[in-house]
């Protein structure tokens, strides 16, 4: 929506009343309106995407918000919307998310960013967002995430939250695996949550996916090598 | 009777008088003096002048009048005094001179006199002793003897030393007076009254210590000087000797402890040394088939705990070493037959030892089994070799083996089969080899084949053998079909253009071939004949598909060799040659037995004189590898087999090389069989292929097992699942936990299983 023109304070009283009736207040505690939300939606959607927001609309949306599309906030937003495909929002999804957040405008959404970001520090929410991210990023019909996407996505979510995330990315880069499936994805999170950085409480019988077994071995070999060279010095 | 008359004087004459109820001091003393005197006389062996009745009565009187204590104490004093002053002195005097005899006679005298004393004082025994809970007379005597004589320091130590010295002397081979030792031991036993403690303390303990020391030294000496077998015999002899010694002149109860000492010193402490002795220990015995010596060792080592285990470990190490050497691949190429035969021989050898030397002891049996299991699986080709071995035995032309002998060999092969971990690999190879045998008609007898299959069935269950049995059935059914086909030909007067056709119909699932992979261009004559059959067969069984398998199958061809056309070497020759070629003298006819591929290749030469490799390849469509093989056996085999000639005459085959019929071909036989170049076992690439197929099958079997188990149990923890899967499959192969884990992940991805939400280590079955 176009930005509001500023009114002079003297004229306010007279103008306020009719504004109230029209429900077009500027202040933050104006109530949420589905209609407004829908209108807002329509500014991004395009016909070629069957009335959903497509990649172009998404780009515009992000620009308006002032965030990059790779920002984790977008992911949380998509999670709240229960969006099915990355890069696309349907009207229902839009409404669902925005209703949850009680936002029907850019400004309101901007203000909610802190809340969205903060919600990630709750481990349950984070886990759900993490899990959601996998299915969200899948290509149509394919059940596993290709290597590059997996690494990017994982980096986005786990960098800064897991001390071994950089090492794990390195491991994935040099390993021969081509795609990550849901079970592996989920288990990486569990791993990051339960296993100590020095891998001391990692048990081989812990039913971890073979991928993680290999990571542990790779990591241990590396640390042995570095510690050996350390001694020589 | 009148009342008591105090002061009534005692008459020395014996008169029946009134029984005094009380006794005065004097009277008592008198009685006691009498008795004391009597006792002393007895001790001096002067008992003949004594009256038993009088003494008994006097004692009786004393006790009756409540002077038992005086009597008892007095007795003790008298005996003690006698023993100290008389007997002990004598014994000590004799320390250096006939000690044991003197001691023994003192002991005998003591016993005799005590018996008599006891008899006199029997009333006291019965009444006073019982009432006052003191030792009875005889035992009192024993105790005093023990304390005053035996336990007197000089005597004590001298007695002990004397006895030990005598034993030591006898051990060295001297003759000693066993009788006196026996007496001494008996005495000590008796002196323990109701226990053997005196004997034990005074003799047995020091005896055992001395013996231990003695045998310790002796064992070291023996070991240094002797071989293991001699040592063992010596030990056995010593054990017998000591047991006999204990029985004969020590106390019998000493037999057990002394034998234990021997076992400890001579055997247990040196177990390893004996077993591992160079040039005479267990290994030497095994190498030189000394089953008797091993039996002796076994008997001996049975006696000590861990003795058998020590032997077993040593034998196991040797067996493993031998086995490992046998299964290591030869650099020159391993012959499967000798490989397996040598393993069978090794097993026979050790079974012989088990039976002859170790009396079928279970520990040794288990050891042999586990060792065989260990090294036979060191070589991953063992299953293949075993199958080849059995294949060899079941083929025609195995000379000189009766049915019974073949049966024995097969039984022994089954024993080896049980040791294999990768039984599924064996199954695969067995199928291949059986197929070849059946199709090429090479079995020695159907009975032996069926016998083998039933053995496998007993071992592994129906699933293993159902396909094998299917193969047999196909053969019988094919025979029937051919009968019907012949009949059909006669009736319908179909002409196969001179081709005698024999078809075997194989059910796809049973036989280990990939169907429809090998196609080639059949020459027209056989092709038409086959089509006639196909029509016939499909008429009977509509809905089935027949595909020809050219890589198996054989053909007999009529071949005409026109003789050579030699090049001109000179005018003289020309005339001769002309004569030769026109007379047709060198024209030869043979029947050659070849494989189907050979037939396809050879029939090309009816169309054109010479063909290049490439041309042959294109014309026949035979796969490269098979084509190479076929051409090699036709052109590059032994001289008597070279039906074709190749130009250039190199060993290898290249695309441009030309092939022609070798008109120079000669053979003494009319029927010539062209051997295939096929190797006995798999080549390297074939082996890899088989291994890949096995791995594929295993993946499926593991997944099937996982699904089966999860369907039944619904929820299972990871470790438990892995264990169950391993358990179910171990009769066929040993799956590694990593592989199982991978399969579980695969099944999770395909949504057969999932992890439970509460615990990611627990899986649940997804219906």
SS (HEC) of chain A? CCCCCCCCHHHHHHHHHHHHHHCCCCCCCCCCCHHHHHHHHHCCCCHHHCCCECHHHHHHHHHHHCCCCCCHHHHHHHHHHCCCCCCCECHHHHHHHHHHHCCCCHHHHHHHHHHHHHHCCCHHHHHHHHHHHHHHHCCCCCCCEEHHHHHHHHHHHHECCECCHHHHHHHHHHCCCCEECHHHHHHHHHHHHHCCCCCCCCCCCCCCCHHHHHHHHHHHHHHHHHHHHHHHC
Distances (CA, A) of B187 to B107, B157, B165, B572: 8, 16, 18, 127
Which residues does chain A have within 8 Å of residue B710's beta carbon, measured at their own beta carbons?
none
Lowest mean pLDDT among A24-33, B509-518, B592-601: A24-33
Which residues does chain A have within 8 Å of residue B761's beta carbon, measured at their own beta carbons?
206-207
Strand order in the sheet with B588-595: B554-561, B588-595, B671-673
Q: Judge: A210–B719 Cβ closer than 8 Å, yes or no.
A: no
Torsion angles phi and psi, residue B591, rounded to 5: -105, 125
pLDDT in tens, B236-255: 898 998 888 888 888 888 88
Which residues does chain B have within 8 Å of residue A144's beta carbon, measured at their own beta carbons?
749
List the one residue out of B171, B56, B192 whose CA is nearest residue B124: B56
- B753: enclosing H helix or E strand: strand B753-755
**Local confidence band at B512 (pLDDT 50, 70, 90 cut-offs):** confident
- Alpha-carbon span B517 to B549, nearest angstrom: 9
Q: Is A98's pLDDT higher than 90?
A: no
Q: Does B738 touch chain A (CB under 8 A)?
A: yes
Chain A contact residues (CB < 8 Å to B): 143-144, 181-184, 187, 190, 205-207, 209-210, 213
- B309: enclosing H helix or E strand: helix B307-327
Which residues does chain A have within 8 Å of residue B745's beta carbon, measured at their own beta carbons?
181, 183-184, 209-210
Torsion angles phi and psi, residue B125, rounded to 5: -55, -45
Q: Judge: A190–B760 Cβ closer than 8 Å, yes or no.
A: yes
DSSP string computed for B587-604: -EEEEEEEEHHHHHHHHH
Torsion angles phi and psi, residue B544, rounded to 5: -105, 165
Residue A93 neighbours by CB under 8 Å, 6+ apart = A81, A82, A83, A84
Q: Judge: B718–A182 Cβ closer than 8 Å, yes or no.
A: no
Scan for tokens 């005692």, then name that residue: B10
Q: Judge: A182–B742 Cβ closer than 8 Å, yes or no.
A: no
Q: Is B570's pLDDT higher than 70?
A: no
Which residues does chain A have within 8 Å of residue B760's beta carbon, measured at their own beta carbons?
187, 190, 207
Identify the closest residue of chain A to B748 by CA–CA distance: A183
Which residues does chain B have within 8 Å of residue A181's beta carbon, measured at their own beta carbons?
745, 748-749
Beta bridge partner(s), residue B716:
B763
Q: Which of A143, A190, A206 sits opposite B749 (nearest CB)?
A: A143
- Chain length of chain A: 233
- Alpha-carbon span A176 to B301, nearest angstrom: 58
Give the helix, strand, coil percentages of chain B, each rounded to 5.
65, 5, 30
Mutation for A interface: B699, B719, B760, B762, most A CBs within 10 A: B760
Which residues does chain B have within 8 Å of residue A213's beta carbon, measured at their own beta carbons?
738, 741
Q: Is B706's pLDDT higher than 90?
A: yes
Give the pLDDT of residue B724.
92
**B740 vs chain A: nearest CA distance in angstroms?**
10
pLDDT in tens, B707-764: 999 999 999 999 999 999 999 998 888 898 889 999 998 898 888 888 888 888 889 9
- Alpha-carbon span B300 to B376, nearest angstrom: 32
To the question of pTM greater than 0.80 for the whole model, the response is no
Rounded to the nearest 10 degrees, the angle between the axes of helix B153-172 and helix B178-191 is 140
- CB of B735 within 8 A of CB of B729? yes
Q: Judge: B738–A213 Cβ closer than 8 Å, yes or no.
A: yes
Q: Is B535's pLDDT higher than 50?
A: yes
- CB of A95 within 8 A of CB of A32? no
Lowest mean pLDDT among B14-18, B164-168, B287-291: B14-18
**Local confidence band at A7 (pLDDT 50, 70, 90 cut-offs):** low
Give the pLDDT of residue A11.
46
Q: Is B584's pLDDT higher than 50?
A: no
Task: Enumerate helices (H) and strands (E) in chain B, giving the number of each.
Answer: 33, 9
pLDDT cut 70: percent of chain B above it? 92
3-state SS assignment for residue B694:
helix
pLDDT in tens, B652-696: 888 888 888 888 788 888 888 887 765 556 677 788 888 888 899
Which residues does chain B have within 8 Å of residue A187's beta carbon, measured at their own beta carbons?
760
Q: Is B367's pLDDT higher than 90?
A: yes
Q: Which of A144, A205, A207 sits opposite B760 (nearest CB)?
A: A207
Which residues does chain A have within 8 Å of residue B719's beta carbon, measured at their own beta carbons?
205, 207
Distances (CA, A) of B664 to B561, B587, B643: 7, 10, 9
Which residues does chain B have within 8 Å of residue A134's beta carbon, measured at their own beta carbons?
none
Q: Judge: B718–A206 Cβ closer than 8 Å, yes or no.
A: yes
**A202 vs chain B: nearest CA distance in angstroms?**
13
Rounded to the nearest 10 degrees, the angle between the axes of helix A182-194 and helix A210-232 is 50
Q: Judge: B745–A206 Cβ closer than 8 Å, yes or no.
A: no
Identify the closest residue of chain B to A207 by CA–CA distance: B761
- Alpha-carbon span B321 to B713, nearest angstrom: 44
Which residues does chain A have within 8 Å of residue B747's beta carbon, measured at their own beta carbons?
none
pLDDT cut 90: percent of chain B above it? 13
Which residues does chain B have within 8 Å of residue A206's beta carbon, measured at their own beta carbons?
718, 761
Q: What is the DSSP letter of B17?
A: -
Mean pLDDT calculated for residue range B260-266: 88
Residue B179 neighbours by CB under 8 Å, 6+ apart = B249
Instruction: Output B683 or B204, whichever has higher pLDDT.
Output: B204
Instruction: Output B322 or A84, whichever has higher pLDDT.
Output: B322
Query: What ipTM describes this predicted complex?
Result: 0.73
**Local confidence band at B9 (pLDDT 50, 70, 90 cut-offs):** low
Q: Is A97's pLDDT higher than 80?
A: yes
List the one residue out of B464, B438, B460, B440 whose CA is nearest residue B449: B438
List the one residue out of B684, B639, B643 whose CA is nearest residue B663: B643
Identify the closest residue of chain A to B723 by CA–CA distance: A205
Q: What is the DSSP letter of B395?
A: B
Residue B22 neighbours by CB under 8 Å, 6+ apart = B4, B65
Q: Judge: B745–A143 Cβ closer than 8 Å, yes or no.
A: no
Instruction: Output A104 or B299, whichever has higher pLDDT.
Output: B299
Q: Does B718 touch chain A (CB under 8 A)?
A: yes
**b/e code B307-337 from CB counts within 10 Å (16+ = b):** bbebbbebbbebbbebbeebbeeeeeebbbe
DSSP string computed for B243-285: HHHHHHTS-GGGHHHHHHHHIIIIIGGGHHHHHT-TTTSHHHH
Structure tokens at B88: 């002990």
Give the pLDDT of residue B552.
80
Q: Does B758 touch chain A (CB under 8 A)?
A: no
**A191 vs chain B: nearest CA distance in angstroms?**
11
Q: Which of A144, A184, A206 sits opposite B761 (nearest CB)?
A: A206
Give the pLDDT of residue B580.
36
Lowest mean pLDDT among A31-35, B306-310, B485-489: A31-35
**Local confidence band at B444 (pLDDT 50, 70, 90 cut-offs):** confident
Give the pLDDT of residue A224.
83
Query: Is the peptide bond preceding residue B98 cis, with omega within 30 degrees of 0?
Result: no
pLDDT in tens, A8-65: 444 444 444 444 444 444 444 567 788 888 888 888 877 776 778 888 888 888 888 8
Q: Judge: B748–A183 Cβ closer than 8 Å, yes or no.
A: yes
- Alpha-carbon span B706 to B743, nearest angstrom: 8
Instruction: Output A48 or B230, whichever has higher pLDDT.
Output: B230
- Alpha-carbon span B585 to B701, nearest angstrom: 66
Return the ∠ at Cα B336 (arms to B334 and B341), rounded to 5°: 115
**Local confidence band at A4 (pLDDT 50, 70, 90 cut-offs):** low
**B730 vs chain A: nearest CA distance in angstroms?**
20
pLDDT in tens, A195-204: 888 888 888 7
- CB of B257 within 8 A of CB of B208? yes
List the one residue out of B354, B240, B356 whose CA is nearest residue B303: B240
Mean pLDDT calculated for residue range B200-218: 90
List the one residue out of A92, A95, A93 whose CA is nearest residue A33: A95
- Alpha-carbon span B432 to B370, nearest angstrom: 29
How far, in whole angstroms, is CA B6 from its chain's centroid?
96
Which residues does chain B have within 8 Å of residue A184's beta carbon, measured at their own beta carbons?
745
Q: Which of A143, A206, A210 sits opposite B745 (nearest CB)?
A: A210
Identify the closest residue of chain B to A206 by CA–CA distance: B761
Mutation for B interface: A183, A195, A202, A204, most B CBs within 10 A: A183
- CB of B336 within 8 A of CB of B680? yes
List the one residue out of B666, B669, B756 whose CA is nearest residue B714: B756
Give the pLDDT of residue B436.
84
- Alpha-carbon span B232 to B307, nearest angstrom: 13
Q: Does B715 touch chain A (CB under 8 A)?
A: no
Mean pLDDT calculated for residue range B212-220: 90
> 10 Å Cβ neighbour count for B733?
20
Instruction: Output B23 or B525, whichever has higher pLDDT.
Output: B525
pLDDT in tens, A128-181: 888 888 888 888 778 888 888 888 888 888 887 888 888 888 888 888 888 888
Q: Does B719 touch chain A (CB under 8 A)?
A: yes
Give the pLDDT of residue B572.
36
Q: Is B573's pLDDT higher than 60?
A: no
Strand order in the sheet with B753-755: B715-717, B762-765, B753-755
- Please give the interface size between A and B, counted as residue pairs whose CB atoms are below 8 Å apart: 33
Q: Judge: A207–B742 Cβ closer than 8 Å, yes or no.
A: no
> 10 Å Cβ neighbour count for B560?
11
Residue A39 neighbours by CB under 8 Å, 6+ apart = A1
Which residues does chain A have within 8 Å of residue B718's beta carbon, measured at their own beta carbons?
205-207
**A152 vs chain B: nearest CA distance in angstroms?**
22
Structure tokens at A142: 């394919």
Q: Is B7's pLDDT higher than 60?
A: no
Identify the closest residue of chain A to B754 by CA–CA distance: A183
Residue B338 neighbours by CB under 8 Å, 6+ apart = none
List the one residue out of B575, B587, B618, B583 whose CA is nearest residue B600: B618
Q: Judge: A210–B761 Cβ closer than 8 Å, yes or no.
A: no
Residue B457 neighbours by CB under 8 Å, 6+ apart = B464, B465
Q: Which of A190, A205, A209 sits opposite B745 (nearest CB)?
A: A209
Q: Is B537's pLDDT higher than 80?
A: yes
**A126 vs chain B: nearest CA distance in angstroms?**
16
DSSP string computed for B165-208: HHHHHHHHT----HHHHHHHHHHHHHHTTTSSHHHIIIIIHHHH
**A190 vs chain B: nearest CA distance in angstroms?**
9
Q: Which of A143, A187, A210 sits opposite B760 (nearest CB)?
A: A187
pLDDT in tens, B110-138: 999 899 889 988 988 888 888 888 888 89
**B757 vs chain A: nearest CA distance in angstroms?**
11
């Amino acid at each position: 929506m176009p930005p509001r023109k500023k009114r002079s304070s003297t004229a306010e009283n007279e103008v306020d009343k009719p504004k109230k009736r029209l429900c077009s207040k500027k202040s933050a505690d104006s109530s949420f309106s589905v209609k407004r939300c829908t209108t807002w939606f329509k500014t991004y959607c395009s016909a070629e995407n069957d009335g959903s927001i497509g990649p172009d609309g998404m780009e515009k949306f992000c620009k308006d918000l002032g965030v990059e599309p790779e920002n984790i906030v977008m992911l949380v937003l998509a999670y709240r919307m229960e969006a099915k495909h990355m890069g696309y929002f349907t009207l229902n999804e839009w409404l669902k998310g925005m209703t949850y957040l009680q936002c029907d405008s850019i400004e309101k959404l901007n203000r909610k960013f802190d809340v969205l970001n903060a919600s990630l520090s709750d481990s349950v929410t984070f886990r759900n967002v993490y899990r959601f991210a996998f299915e969200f990023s899948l290509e149509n019909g394919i059940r596993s995430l290709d290597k590059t996407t997996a690494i990017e996505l994982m980096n986005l979510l786990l960098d800064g939250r897991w001390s071994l995330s950089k090492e794990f990315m390195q491991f994935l880069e040099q390993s021969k695996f081509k795609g990550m499936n849901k079970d592996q994805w989920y288990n990486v999170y569990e791993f990051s949550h339960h296993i100590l950085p020095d891998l001391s409480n990692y048990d081989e019988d812990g039913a971890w996916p073979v991928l993680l077994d290999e990571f542990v071995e790779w990591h241990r070999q590396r640390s042995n090598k570095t510690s050996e060279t350390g001694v020589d010095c | 009777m009148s009342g008591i008359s105090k002061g009534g004087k005692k008459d020395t004459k014996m008169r029946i008088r009134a029984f005094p109820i009380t006794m005065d001091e004097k009277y008592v003393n008198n009685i006691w003096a009498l008795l004391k005197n009597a006792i002393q006389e007895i001790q001096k062996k002067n008992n003949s002048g004594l009256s038993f009745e009088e003494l008994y009565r006097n004692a009786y009187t004393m006790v009756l009048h409540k002077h038992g204590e005086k009597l008892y104490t007095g007795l003790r004093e008298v005996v003690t005094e006698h023993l100290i002053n008389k007997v002990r002195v004598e014994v000590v005097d004799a320390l250096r001179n006939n000690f044991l005899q003197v001691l023994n006679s003192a002991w005998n005298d003591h016993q005799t006199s005590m018996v008599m004393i006891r008899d006199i004082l029997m009333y006291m025994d019965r009444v006073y002793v019982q009432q006052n809970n003191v030792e009875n007379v005889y035992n009192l005597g024993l105790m005093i003897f023990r304390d005053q004589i035996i336990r007197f320091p000089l005597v004590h130590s001298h007695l002990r030393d004397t006895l030990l010295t005598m034993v030591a002397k006898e051990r060295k081979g001297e003759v000693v007076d066993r009788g006196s030792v026996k007496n001494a031991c008996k005495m000590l036993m008796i002196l323990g009254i109701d226990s053997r403690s005196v004997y034990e303390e005074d003799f047995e303990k020091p005896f055992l210590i001395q013996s231990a020391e003695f045998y310790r030294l002796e064992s070291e000496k023996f070991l240094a000087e002797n071989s293991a077998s001699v040592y063992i015999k010596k030990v056995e002899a010593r054990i017998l000797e000591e047991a006999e010694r204990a029985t004969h002149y020590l106390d019998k109860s000493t037999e057990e402890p002394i034998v234990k000492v021997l076992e400890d010193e001579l055997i247990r402490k040196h177990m390893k040394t004996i077993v591992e002795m160079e040039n005479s220990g267990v290994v030497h015995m095994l190498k030189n088939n000394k089953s008797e010596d091993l039996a002796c060792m076994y008997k001996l080592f049975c006696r000590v705990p861990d003795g058998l285990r020590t032997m077993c470990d040593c034998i196991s190490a040797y067996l493993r070493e031998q086995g490992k050497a046998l299964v290591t691949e030869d650099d020159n190429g391993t012959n499967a037959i000798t490989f397996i035969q040598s393993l069978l021989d090794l097993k026979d050898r050790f079974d012989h030892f088990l039976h002859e030397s170790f009396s079928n002891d279970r520990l040794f049996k288990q050891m042999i089994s586990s060792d065989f299991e260990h090294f036979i699986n060191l070589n991953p080709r063992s299953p293949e070799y075993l199958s080849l071995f059995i294949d060899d035995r079941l083929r025609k032309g195995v000379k000189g083996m009766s049915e019974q002998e073949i049966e024995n060999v097969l039984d022994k092969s089954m024993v080896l089969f049980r040791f294999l971990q990768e039984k599924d690999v064996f199954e695969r190879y067995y199928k291949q080899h059986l197929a070849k045998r059946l199709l090429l008609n090479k079995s020695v007898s159907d009975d032996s084949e069926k016998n083998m299959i039933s053995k496998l069935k007993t071992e592994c269950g129906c699933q293993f053998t159902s396909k094998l049995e299917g193969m047999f059935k196909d053969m019988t059914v094919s025979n029937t079909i051919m009968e019907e086909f012949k009949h059909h030909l006669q009736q319908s007067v179909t002409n196969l253009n001179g081709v005698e056709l024999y078809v075997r119909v194989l059910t796809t699932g049973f036989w280990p071939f990939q169907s429809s992979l090998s196609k080639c261009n059949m020459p027209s004559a056989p092709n038409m004949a086959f089509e006639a059959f196909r029509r016939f067969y499909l008429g009977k069984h509509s809905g089935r598909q027949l595909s020809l398998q050219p890589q198996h199958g054989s053909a007999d061809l009529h071949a005409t060799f026109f003789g050579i056309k030699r090049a001109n070497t000179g005018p003289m020759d020309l005339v001769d040659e002309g004569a030769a070629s026109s007379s047709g003298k060198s024209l030869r006819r043979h029947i050659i037995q070849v494989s189907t591929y050979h037939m396809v290749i050879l029939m090309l030469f009816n169309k054109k004189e010479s063909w290049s490799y490439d041309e042959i390849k294109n014309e026949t469509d035979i796969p490269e590898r098979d084509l190479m093989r076929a051409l090699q056996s036709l052109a590059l085999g032994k001289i008597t087999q070279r039906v074709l000639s190749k130009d250039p005459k190199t060993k290898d085959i290249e695309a441009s090389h030309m092939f022609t019929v070798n008109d120079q071909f000669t053979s003494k036989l009319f029927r010539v069989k062209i051997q295939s170049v096929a190797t006995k076992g798999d080549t390297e690439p074939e082996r890899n292929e088989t291994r890949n197929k096995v791995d594929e099958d295993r993946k499926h079997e593991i997944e099937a097992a996982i699904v089966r188990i999860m369907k039944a149990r619904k929820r299972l923890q990871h470790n438990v699942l892995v264990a169950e899967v391993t358990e179910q499959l171990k009769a066929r192969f040993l799956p590694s936990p990593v592989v199982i884990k991978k399969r579980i992940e695969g099944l999770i991805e395909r949504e057969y299983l999932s992890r439970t939400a509460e615990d990611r280590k627990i899986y649940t079955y997804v219906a």
